[in-house]
């Protein structure tokens, strides 16, 4: 059934109020701003200055620096002064988690402070208890006492703030009342926002970051819907990010799915792509994403939608058999290729491994519709039986909007073939990163909406690369798991080991474990929470020491880093998830920045 248009979709980019961060203004009519975060030790002034200048050189507009202690926060003065002496006036953001006193110190030296509501005023103990309304109100009062001094100081000094919720670090109080859900993420942020507003402070930005793109998309949509319901003056800017996206092609795909989906819906004023790589590699990806969705909103349909914007459910198409390939009806989405691509790889199918072409586009019994053609849609819906249907090429609609309209218009019994482009001859000269990001955002957005029973990716000219990209998009959205899944944080000054080297070592030992999900976390800030749906976790516990997790539960502590990867393999074996790698297994891990 077609539903009325929900609040999170905008015919144009969502109009937010302007917030000034030093010389940079975000929101309003400003273009989407690109930012990143330093990975070096905050006490190493020279390294922080060097890395900040490198980020600015590649187009970074705001730089975030962790301040885990008061000592680190004080050193922000030295970093700022050296940058200004070198003629660099990029706005600096202090990243705060557990230490209100570090936040109070950092406000003296930076243009913006980021606080995480889940651990700014709470210590997470994974405690289970019921709160009466009176007890819950008392907890809000306790939070106000801790948070209000920072708000007052930011207001006095003209410093902006990001109220940044992380799915992985919701407080026990929020978890007990709302669960580990997008609603819990939104409520956590709104509690802090209400305190800021009570103190007449409005220079703040929201974020709702998660490593799972479906959770992240739902949380942001719910947030902007709630803000709209609160009133016109709740139009605060939105910062977008998929946290712990990983590295290489996988990290770029997952980031494009989450960030691109929301930009296509008109949501977002500033973005950060979080990769487990040197920070300078994040900026070209972020700039490309921002540019892809700088025009009209791709995802707004102008009519009803067929899905719940706030929670995932697969569209209930009926199953059909296409030459022995089952499609729809709960089957995993299938990968379709053009005849040209199929013929190009037909002689080497054995060497393609899991990246197999399953159906050929030109051979399909396919119905192609313009979803705006009411007569054609009515005639199609009146037919008996089940047909595979797609959007007709060449129509003047953005991809996401076209397929949302199609899903809303046709009877749900019919399965849908998604395309990453409605141009049968896309630009062959487009750089691969642009193809990767656009295809990931468009196909990933629709799959996260629950739409799509097969995918056709034709904007990439190279047949093998096109196949790999299609399968990796399905993996990134959790629609089809065919390899090991990694959740890896992007590193920062809190990290207790070299994340890039460690991630590569873990991948070299585990990349053959299909269907196993591993989390690699540099510290405990988001570790246990972001590992909510991971099978095993590798988390920095102390300098040179690693804790190993099964799900959210730490089971082995203070393992010397030199032994930790082997002990992780032992843990996987203990839980019956290990299989021996094939004799000819090649290293799967891509080098940082390979995409």
Greatest mean pLDDT range, 229-238, 276-285, 514-523:
229-238
Taking 90 as the threshold, does the pLDDT of residue 213 lie above it? yes
- How does residue 4 score in pLDDT terms, banded at 50, 70 and 90? very low
Residues 6+ apart with CB under 8 A from 112: 21, 22, 62, 91, 92, 93, 94, 159, 160, 161, 162
pLDDT for the residue 561: 86
Closest-CA residue to 210 (of 223, 201, 229, 200): 223
Highest mean pLDDT among 36-50, 289-303, 507-521: 36-50
Q: For 95, list phi and psi in degrees, rounded to 5.
A: -95, 115
Selected residue with higher pLDDT from 526 and 547: 547
pLDDT at 527: 52
What pLDDT is stored for residue 499 in this prediction?
75
pLDDT tens digits, residue range 166-207? 888 888 888 888 888 999 999 999 999 999 999 999 999 999
Count of beta carbons in the 10 Å neighbourhood of residue 304: 15
Residue 409's contacts (CB-CB under 8 Å, 6 or more residues apart) are 2, 369, 371, 377
Mean pLDDT of all residues belonging to the chain:
89
Q: Which residues pair with 96 in a beta bridge?
A: 115
Band the pLDDT of 494: cuts 50, 70, 90: low
Tens digit of pLDDT for each residue in 323-380? 999 999 989 999 999 999 999 999 998 888 888 999 999 999 999 999 999 999 999 9
3-class DSSP state of 216: helix
Which pLDDT band holds residue 526 (cuts at 50, 70, 90)?
A: low
Position 591 scores a pLDDT of 35
Q: What is the pLDDT of residue 528?
A: 56
Mean pLDDT along residues 567-580: 88
How many of the other CB atoms lie within 10 Å of CB of 1? 6
Residue in the structure block whose two tokens are 């060497």: 351
What pLDDT, on a 0 to 100 scale, did the predictor assign at position 187?
A: 95
Per-residue confidence band for 531, with pLDDT thresholds at 50, 70 and 90: low
Nearest partner of 253 among 472, 32, 455, judged by Cα: 472
Residue 583 in this model has a pLDDT that exceeds 90? no
Say yes or no to pLDDT of 590 above 60.
no
Rounded (10°) angle between helices 399-409 and 432-448: 20
Look at residues 345, 242, 340, 337 and name the one whose alpha carbon lies nearest to residue 286: 242
Query: How many helices (H) and strands (E) in the chain?
Result: 19, 23
- Per-residue CA distances from 99 to 34, 39, 123, 192, 195 (Å): 27, 19, 11, 16, 18
Q: What is the mean pLDDT of the segment spanning 266-281? A: 92
Q: pTM for the whole thing?
A: 0.89
| Alpha helices (runs of H) in 158-281, residue ranges in sequence order | 172-178, 182-198, 213-230, 248-255, 261-264
Asked whether the predicted pLDDT for residue 399 surpasses 90, the reply is: yes
Confidence of residue 529 (pLDDT cuts 50, 70, 90): low
Tell whether the model's pLDDT for residue 1 goes beyond 50: no
Percent of residues, the chain, with pLDDT higher than 70: 92
Whether residue 512 has pLDDT greater than 90: no
What local confidence, expressed as pLDDT, does residue 123 receive? 62
Sheet containing 485-488: give its strands across: 485-488, 517-521, 536-542, 545-550, 553-560
Q: Which residue has the higher pLDDT, 49 or 4?
A: 49
């Amino acid at each position: 059934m077609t539903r009325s248009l929900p609040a999170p979709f905008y015919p144009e980019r969502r109009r937010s109020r302007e917030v000034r961060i030093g010389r940079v203004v975000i929101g309003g009519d400003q273009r989407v701003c690109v930012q990143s975060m330093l990975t070096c030790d905050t006490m190493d002034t020279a390294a922080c200055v060097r890395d900040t200048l490198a980020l600015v050189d590649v187009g970074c507009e705001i730089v975030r620096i962790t301040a885990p202690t008061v000592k680190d926060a004080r050193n922000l003065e030295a970093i700022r002064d050296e940058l200004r002496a070198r003629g660099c006036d990029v706005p600096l953001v202090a990243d705060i988690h557990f230490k209100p006193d570090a936040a109070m110190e950092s406000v003296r030296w930076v243009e913006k402070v980021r606080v995480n509501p889940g651990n700014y005023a709470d210590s997470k103990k994974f405690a289970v208890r019921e709160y009466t309304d009176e007890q819950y109100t008392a907890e809000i009062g306790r939070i106000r006492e801790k948070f209000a001094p920072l708000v007052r100081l930011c207001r006095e000094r003209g410093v902006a703030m990001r109220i940044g919720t992380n799915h992985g670090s919701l407080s026990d109080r929020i978890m007990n009342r709302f669960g580990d859900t997008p609603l819990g993420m939104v409520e956590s942020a709104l509690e802090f926002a209400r305190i800021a507003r009570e103190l007449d402070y409005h220079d703040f930005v929201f974020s709702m970051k998660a490593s799972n793109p479906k959770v992240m998309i739902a949380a942001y949509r719910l947030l902007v819907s709630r803000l709209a319901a609160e009133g016109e003056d709740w139009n605060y800017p939105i910062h977008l990010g998929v946290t712990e996206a990983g590295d290489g092609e996988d990290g770029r795909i997952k980031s494009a799915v989450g960030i691109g989906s929301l930009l296509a819906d008109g949501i977002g004023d500033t973005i950060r792509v979080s990769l487990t790589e040197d920070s300078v590699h994040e900026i070209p990806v972020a700039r490309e994403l921002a540019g892809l969705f700088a025009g009209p909103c791709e995802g707004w349909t102008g009519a009803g939608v067929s899905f719940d914007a706030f929670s995932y459910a697969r569209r209930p198409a009926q199953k059909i058999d296409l030459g022995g390939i089952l499609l729809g009806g709960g089957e995993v989405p299938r990968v379709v290729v053009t005849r040209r691509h199929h013929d190009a790889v037909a002689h080497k199918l054995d060497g393609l491994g899991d990246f197999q072409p399953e159906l050929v586009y030109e051979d399909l019994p396919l119905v192609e519709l313009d979803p705006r053609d009411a007569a054609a849609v009515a005639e199609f819906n009146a037919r008996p039986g089940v047909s595979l249907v797609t959007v007709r090429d060449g129509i003047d609609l953005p991809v996401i909007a076209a397929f949302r309209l199609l899903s809303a218009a046709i009877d749900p019994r019919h399965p849908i073939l998604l395309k990453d482009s409605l141009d049968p001859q896309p630009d062959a000269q487009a750089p691969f990163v642009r193809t990767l990001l656009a295809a990931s955002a468009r196909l990933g957005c629709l799959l996260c909406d629950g739409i799509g029973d097969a995918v056709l990716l034709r904007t990439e000219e190279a047949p093998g690369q096109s196949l790999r990209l299609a399968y990796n998009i399905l993996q990134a959205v959790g629609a089809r798991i065919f390899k090991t899944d990694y959740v890896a944080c992007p590193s920062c000054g809190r990290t207790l080991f070299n994340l890039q080297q460690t991630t590569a070592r873990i991948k070299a030992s585990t990349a053959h474990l299909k269907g196993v999900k591993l989390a690699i976390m540099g510290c405990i800030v988001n570790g246990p929470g972001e590992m909510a749906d991971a099978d095993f976790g590798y988390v920095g516990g102390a300098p040179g020491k690693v804790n190993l997790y099964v799900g959210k539960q730490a089971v082995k502590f203070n393992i010397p880093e030199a032994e930790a990867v082997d002990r992780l393999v032992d843990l996987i074996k203990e839980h019956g998830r290990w299989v021996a790698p094939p004799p000819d297994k090649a290293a799967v891990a891509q080098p940082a920045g390979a995409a």
